[in-house]
């Protein structure tokens, strides 16, 4: 009941925030309508006034134009600000409504990361980390391309060092209650509709060579033109040079400037597109710079963008100003005046190139900082939405190595335990649940693995919960290793590399059978163990593609080799005889089961993990229920 009340409180926060945004949005829309009407009225008044007093003096016409134009321009600026506020409030409503839906396990509005699906990955394909209804879709609240890539990278390559996991836990824990900061960050990012190639294109643009500044003569031209105009002006004022000669010189500069117009226009278009991205990133960087930071990782991110100097956002704002100044060339009158006097467009484009040369090396670091903060905000939102989840205790195994050995000395035979293997392993959790399952239907179970080597063998009937249990353990283990909270009452882990084999499939493209694909995965696991890698292995129904006797013999041999190689993991199987391996390894193997009960000709499941080997099977019963004849 306490958990439900807490979830209700979070729902109320999102609901109230959405309602506040809706109320303010209504007021803003009313203002937009009134300001629009007033602008139209001023425009009509100005036109009517000029027509009515057309025959009067130019002074009266100028006054009418001034009286109507200045308020019109002021209202236009205010109008644009209201439209930006409207867009912001609409997005604020949207994200809070999305969170309300997510609390009811509807995450369809979030990117599912389908582009990151890799059937050959060590665990993401088996654990449904990417794709529809995936862990990525459940967690993902990123608003930038760098953030999305970073979150996908974290899920695809989890941390294995205690210190790194704890650092990220601290950052996530600090950001979790900062709802206003996280939502403002996300809204600002979502207001720019980016594309997948943004980050790559931006870095390529920053690394591209300068076109104009690379030529010394072009760099001197704006200075020479400005100097020549000043000299002409001085000579005219001194009465030495006729004004007409000065006008001819100025006109020649205007005409000469046309020679650069084509290239400048092309570069302006390129820079304009990049500026849209950079302006969004500048707003995000400014928000990050203002946000206090206590966690070590958050302090490092702030330092990466310039710390207290506000370097990143200020620098991008400077580029924004340079681009705005360059846009003056779009006004024909201003273009002719400024280009004739200063070679304006050439001067501005070279100042922009100078900015690029100065800050090109900084840009990847800024993007990295934005990506990290964006991904951390996703994990923090996940933590905020699940107040009953806990941050697991992380322990680091001590190694029983043989000193510093070279690669040849570190090579092992198939029957030799890996050199420098950890002397212990730990995965202990109470009331572990699947984060993607509805909290009202989720049955929680425990797990206890506190030594190396150690394997849990899970047996049970069809649909009894074996595969769900494996994925539940795998998903929570992954969450723990990326610094996120887990669905458990208590959890303690010693991080090792996760590797699974749950849903191996045929590959028509590679002319590869299901069985051969599974063998390749098992061979990969053995190779990694022999190389001394720390692994946490999760397998479901190994060697499915062969006959029962062959499968049993192979399964026995595989688990024995795992024991020899000091491995840890969980295996789910229908083969009850695998449970007898406990006789060979009484200290290193434990049997657990999921049972199915048949009562009053109905099949029921408790989904509770119990010690021992499964006693009840249900295949024949289900076949009979479906009308398939089965001999008694």
Residue 349 and residue 472 share a domain: no
**Residue span of the structural domain in which 591 resides:** 393-400+411-625
Task: Tell whether 284 and 426 lie within a shared domain.
Answer: no
pLDDT at 406 over 60: no
DSSP H or E stretch at residue 19: helix 2-52
Q: Is the pLDDT of residue 401 over 60?
A: no
Query: Does pLDDT of 280 surpass 80?
Result: yes
In a domain, 485, yes or no: yes
Residues 6+ apart with CB under 8 A from 132: 112, 114
Residue 269 in domain = yes
Co-location of 363 and 436 in the same domain:
no
3-state helix, strand, coil in the chain (%, to 5): 60, 10, 30
380 lies in a domain?
no
- 594 and 496 within one domain: yes
Core vs surface per residue 438-454: b (16+ CB within 10 A) or e: ebeebbbbebebeebbb
pLDDT at 617: 66
The confidence score (pLDDT) of residue 410 equals 40
5 in a domain, yes or no? yes
Q: Is the same domain home to 360 and 419?
A: no
Do 431 and 360 lie in a common domain? no
Residue that terminates a domain, selected from 58, 85, 103: 103
Q: Mean pLDDT of all residues in the chain? A: 83
Whether the bond between 453 and the residue before it is cis, its omega within 30 degrees of 0, is yes
> Which is more confident, 163 or 351?
163
- Cα(376)–Cα(169) distance, integer angstroms: 10
308 and 418 together in one domain: no
In this structure, the answer to whether residues 246 and 342 fall within a common structural domain is yes
DSSP 442: P
pLDDT the model gives residue 420: 45
User: pLDDT band at residue 206, thresholds of 50, 70 and 90?
Assistant: confident
More confident residue, 325 or 552: 552
Higher pLDDT, residue 515 or 194 = 515
Compare 156 and 6 and report the one with higher pLDDT. Answer: 156
Q: How far is it, in rounded angstroms, from Cα 105 to Cα 138? A: 8
Question: What's the confidence (pLDDT) of residue 576?
Answer: 87
312 with 430, same domain: the answer is no
pLDDT confidence of residue 409: 38
Band the pLDDT of 418: cuts 50, 70, 90.
very low
118 falls within a domain: no
Q: What average pLDDT does range 428-451 have in this prediction?
A: 93
Q: Which structure tokens are listed for 484?
A: 């996120």
CA distance 172 to 194: 25
Q: Is 614 helix (H, G, I), strand (E, B) or coil?
A: coil
Residue 142 inside a domain? The answer is no
The bridge status of strand 427-432 relative to strand 490-493 is: antiparallel
pLDDT at 313: 84
Distance separating alpha carbons of residues 260 and 178, to the nearest angstrom: 50
For residues 321 and 438, state if they share a domain: no
Residue 362 above 90 pLDDT?
Answer: no
Confidence grade of residue 4 (pLDDT, cut at 50, 70, 90): very low
pTM: 0.84
Is 73 part of any domain?
A: yes
Domain assignment present for 163: no
Based on the fold, state whether residues 251 and 342 are members of the same structural domain.
yes
Q: Would the pLDDT of 279 be above 90? A: no
Which of 605, 617, 630, 606 is closest to 576 using CA atoms? 617
pLDDT for the residue numbered 2: 44
User: Stretch 216-240: mean pLDDT, rounded?
Assistant: 67
Last residue of a domain, one of 103, 129, 149: 103
**222: confidence class by pLDDT, cuts 50, 70, 90:** low
**Token representation of residue 178:** 């900062």
User: How much is the average pLDDT of 41-48?
Assistant: 84
Q: How many domains would you assign to the chain?
A: 3
CATH of residue 528? 3.40.50.300
Name the nearest CA neighbour of 525 among 492, 571, 489.
571
Higher pLDDT, 248 or 183: 183
Q: What is the CA radius of gyration of the chain?
A: 34
One domain for residues 365 and 428: no
- Average of per-residue pLDDT across 401-420: 40
The residues facing 597 across adjacent strands are 604
Instruction: Give the helix ranges, DSSP H, for 53-161.
Output: 58-103, 135-139, 145-156
Closest C-alpha among 426, 454, 458 to residue 445: 458
The band of 416, judged by pLDDT with boundaries at 50, 70 and 90, is very low
Q: Is the pLDDT of residue 317 over 90?
A: no
Boundary (domain end) residue, out of 103, 121, 145 = 103
What mean pLDDT comes out for the span 84-112? 96
Mean pLDDT of 226-246: 68
**Pairing of the two strands 589-594 and 454-460:** parallel
Give the neighbor-by-neighbor strand order of the sheet with 454-460. 497-501, 535-540, 568-573, 454-460, 589-594, 610-611
């Amino acid at each position: 009941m306490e958990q439900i009340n807490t979830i209700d409180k979070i729902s109320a926060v999102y609901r109230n925030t959405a309602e506040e945004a809706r109320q303010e949005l209504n007021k803003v829309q009313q203002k937009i309508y009134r300001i629009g009407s007033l602008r139209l009225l001023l425009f009509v008044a100005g036109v009517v006034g000029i027509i009515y007093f057309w025959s009067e003096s130019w002074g009266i016409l100028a006054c009418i134009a001034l009286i109507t134009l200045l308020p019109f321009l002021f209202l236009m600026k205010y109008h644009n600000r209201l439209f930006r506020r409207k867009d912001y409030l609409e997005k604020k409503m949207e994200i809070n409504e999305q969170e309300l839906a997510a609390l009811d396990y509807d995450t369809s509005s979030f990117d599912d990361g389908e582009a990151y699906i890799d059937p050959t990955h060590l665990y993401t394909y088996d654990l449904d980390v990417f794709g529809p209804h995936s862990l990525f879709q459940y967690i993902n609240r990123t608003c930038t391309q760098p953030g999305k890539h970073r979150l996908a990278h974290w899920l695809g390559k989890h941390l294995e060092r205690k210190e790194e996991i704890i650092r990220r836990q601290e950052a996530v824990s600090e950001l979790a209650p900062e709802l206003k900061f996280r939502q403002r960050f996300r809204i600002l990012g979502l207001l720019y509709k980016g594309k997948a190639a943004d980050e790559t294109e931006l870095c390529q643009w920053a690394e591209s060579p300068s076109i104009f500044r690379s030529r010394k003569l072009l760099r001197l031209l704006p200075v020479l033109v400005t100097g020549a105009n000043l000299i002409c002006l001085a000579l005219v004022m001194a009465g030495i040079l006729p004004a007409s000669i000065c006008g001819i010189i100025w006109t020649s500069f205007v005409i000469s400037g046309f020679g650069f117009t084509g290239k400048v226009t092309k570069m302006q278009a390129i820079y304009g597109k990049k500026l849209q991205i950079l302006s969004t990133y500048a707003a995000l960087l400014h928000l990050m710079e203002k946000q206090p930071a206590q966690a070590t990782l958050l302090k490092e991110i702030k330092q990466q963008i310039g710390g207290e100097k506000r370097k990143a956002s200020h620098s991008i704002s400077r580029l924004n100003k340079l681009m705005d100044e360059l846009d003056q060339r779009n006004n024909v009158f201003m273009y002719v005046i400024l280009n004739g006097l200063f070679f304006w467009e050439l001067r501005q484009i070279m100042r922009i190139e100078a900015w690029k040369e100065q800050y090109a090396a900084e840009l990847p670091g800024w993007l990295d900082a934005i990506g990290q903060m964006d991904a951390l905000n996703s994990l923090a939102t996940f933590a905020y939405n699940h107040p009953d989840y806990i941050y697991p205790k992380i322990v680091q195994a001590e190694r029983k190595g043989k000193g510093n050995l070279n690669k040849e000395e570190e090579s092992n035979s198939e029957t030799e335990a890996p050199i420098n293997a950890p002397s212990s392993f730990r995965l202990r959790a109470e009331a572990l649940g699947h984060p993607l399952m509805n909290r009202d239907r989720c049955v929680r179970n425990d797990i206890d693995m506190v030594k190396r080597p150690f394997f849990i063998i899970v047996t049970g009937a069809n649909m009894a919960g074996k595969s769900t249990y494996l994925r539940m353990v795998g998903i929570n283990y992954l969450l723990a290793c990326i610094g996120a909270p887990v669905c458990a009452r208590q959890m303690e882990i010693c991080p090792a590399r996760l590797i699974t084999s749950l849903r191996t499939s045929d590959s028509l493209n590679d002319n590869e059978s299901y069985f051969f694909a599974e063998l390749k995965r098992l061979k990969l696991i053995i190779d990694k163990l022999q190389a001394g890698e720390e692994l946490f292995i999760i397998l479901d129904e190994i060697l499915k593609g062969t006959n029962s006797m062959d499968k049993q013999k192979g399964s026995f041999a595989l688990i024995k080799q795992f024991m020899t190689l000091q491995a840890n993991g969980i295996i789910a199987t229908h083969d009850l005889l695998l449970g007898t391996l406990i006789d060979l390894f009484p200290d290193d193997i434990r049997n657990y089961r999921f049972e199915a009960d048949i009562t009053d000709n109905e099949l029921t499941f408790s989904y509770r993990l119990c010690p021992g080997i499964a006693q009840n099977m249900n295949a024949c019963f289900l076949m009979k229920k479906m009308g398939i004849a089965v001999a008694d």
